[in-house]
Amino acid sequence: MVKNRSLVEEGTDINLQFEKRDGLLPVAVQDSSTGEILMIASVNREAFDHTLETGEPAFWSTSRNELWIKGLTSGNTIRLDDVLVDCDQDALVYRVTLEGEGVCHTKNKNGVHRTSCFYRKLNREGNQLEFKDE
């Protein structure tokens, strides 16, 4: 529920607008040292509370419908440095440090997890994807 708009935008109270977004807010995960965006995921209140309580960056897996702790199965963990909150309090940025191979579940040609899920970009014509660094 949006409370007083000015409080949401200019206040210091945490008042994340989960209800406005069907319980799920987008979170961009950004490498603190390079500024690279590593992935975009979702958090619900449970994932956010887990993140606050443990310092582990937690997400909500919309495909598996369960709490998702990055690196729990792959070992490629990320350390949480900062949590940024936007004006409307309905989007987040986790600034993180990589503690293993990259965050992506895909692997590059050397068999290493890609650093970022955003390894492709639109070509100049806007009709195909191209690989950024491979």
CA–CA dist 50, 125 (Å, integer): 43
Instruction: Verify binding: residue 3, a copy of itself, rule CB under 8 A.
Output: no
- In angstroms, what is the minimal distance from the CB of 102 to a copy of itself? 11
Pairing of strands 66-69, 78-85: unpaired
Tell me phi and psi for residue 130, to 5 degrees. Answer: -130, 150
Please say which residue, 36 or 101, places its beta carbon nearer to a copy of itself. Answer: 36
Q: How many residues bind a copy of itself (CB under 8 A)?
A: 42
Cβ neighbours for 93, distance < 8 A, ≥ 6 positions apart? 27, 28, 29, 30, 82, 83, 84
Query: Which of 3, 4, 9, 23 is close enough to bind a copy of itself by CB under 8 A?
Result: 9
Instruction: Verify binding: residue 119, a copy of itself, rule CB under 8 A.
Output: yes
Quickly count: other Cβ atoms within 10 Å of residue 86's Cβ.
13
Instruction: Verify binding: residue 28, a copy of itself, rule CB under 8 A.
Output: yes
Instruction: Verify binding: residue 93, a copy of itself, rule CB under 8 A.
Output: yes
Instruction: Verify binding: residue 82, a copy of itself, rule CB under 8 A.
Output: yes
Cβ neighbours for 126, distance < 8 A, ≥ 6 positions apart? none
Chain contacts with a copy of itself (rule: CB under 8 A): 9-14, 26, 28, 30, 34-37, 39-40, 52, 82-88, 91, 93, 104-106, 114, 117-122, 126-132
